[in-house]
């Protein structure tokens, strides 16, 4: 069955207590539908996972574990995950429905001013920082995964995760970087000023400002 036919076949289907209304998107991780939560009488977005993905028990467990991690993020700029569920052989992710447009669509419409761009960038950064603080990296941030609500609120969507092998490689890289950082720090203490040059001025700015103000005080008193 083609994706188009599969999408039409899903319309009207009841997944647990979610009634599929219409298809609103599609991607490598499955089709996305607008649905009605019949228990709470609200609109939600349902992402149906592809059959091949759902048939792989290991990938499915990892996706469920990662979906739970994202659902624990409570941030106004991150899409809220309501449920990771199954109905028969169909596995799905239920999230809040965002009424608006993607950043890609907004850019394509030629409506993005500098002020709007800064507001979007700021809210996106807030979302990513909150995720990073929880140990979650997005890995697929792009205009298609940034939704802008009608009231201007930004929602970051579709967090992607590394597989276990990639995570092990990343941990090895981090350990290597940490070792190099410690070695460079020891060397910088012996050589006197290289660490500040390598790290940049910002970590030392407060002390530099303080020293400058202390040097300037006698001059102002003399005047």
The enclosing domain of 148 has a CATH number of 1.10.510.10
Is 143 among the domain residues?
yes
Domain count, the chain: 1
Is 144 among the domain residues?
yes
Rounded CA separation 96/76 (Å): 12
Is 218 among the domain residues?
no
Please give, one letter per residue, the 3-state secondary structure of the chain.
Answer: CCHHHHHHHHCCCEECCEEEEEEEEEECCEEEEEEEECCCCEEEEEEECCHHHHCCHHHHHHHHHHHHHHHCCCCCCECCEEEEEEECCEEEEEEECCCEEEHHHHHHCCCCCHHHHHHHHHHHHHHHHHHHHCCCCCCCCCHHHEEEECCCCEEECCCCCCCHHHHHHHHHHHHHHHHHHHHHHHHHHHHCCHHHHHHCCHHHHHHHHHHHHHHHHHHHHHC
pLDDT at 62: 80
Is 128 among the domain residues?
yes
Is 86 among the domain residues?
yes
Active site residues: 140
Name which of 110, 92, 86 is nearest 35 in CA terms.
Answer: 92
The number of beta carbons lying within 10 Å of the beta carbon of residue 115 is: 8
Residue-range definition of the domain harbouring residue 93: 12-156
pLDDT tens, position by position, for the chain (223 residues)? 455 555 566 888 999 999 999 999 887 678 899 999 999 999 999 999 888 777 888 888 888 887 888 888 889 999 999 999 999 888 999 999 999 999 999 999 887 899 999 999 999 999 999 999 988 888 889 999 999 999 999 999 988 755 444 445 545 555 665 566 566 555 555 544 443 433 343 433 443 334 444 555 555 444 4
pLDDT at 83: 92
Is 146 among the domain residues?
yes
């Amino acid at each position: 069955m083609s994706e188009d036919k599969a999408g039409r076949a899903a319309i009207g289907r009841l997944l647990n207590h979610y009634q599929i209304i219409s298809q609103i998107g599609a991607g490598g991780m499955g089709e996305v539908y607008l649905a009605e939560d019949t228990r709470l009488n609200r609109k939600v977005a349902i992402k149906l996972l592809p059959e091949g993905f759902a048939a792989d028990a290991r990938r499915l467990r990892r996706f469920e574990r990662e979906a739970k991690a994202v659902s624990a993020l409570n941030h106004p700029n991150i899409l809220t995950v309501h449920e990771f569920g199954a109905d028969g052989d169909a596995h799905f992710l239920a999230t809040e429905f965002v009424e608006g447009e993607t950043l890609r669509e907004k850019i394509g419409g030629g409506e993005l001013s500098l002020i709007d761009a800064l507001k979007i960038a700021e809210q996106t950064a807030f979302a990513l920082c909150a995720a990073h603080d929880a140990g979650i990296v997005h890995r697929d941030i792009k205009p298609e995964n940034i939704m802008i609500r009608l009231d201007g609120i930004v929602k970051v969507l579709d967090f992607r995760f590394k597989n276990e092998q990639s995570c092990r490689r990343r941990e090895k890289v981090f350990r290597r970087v940490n070792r190099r950082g410690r070695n460079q720090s020891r060397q910088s203490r012996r050589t006197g000023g290289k660490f500040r040059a390598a790290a940049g001025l910002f970590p030392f700015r407060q002390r530099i400002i303080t020293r400058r103000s202390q040097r300037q005080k006698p001059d102002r008193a003399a005047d």
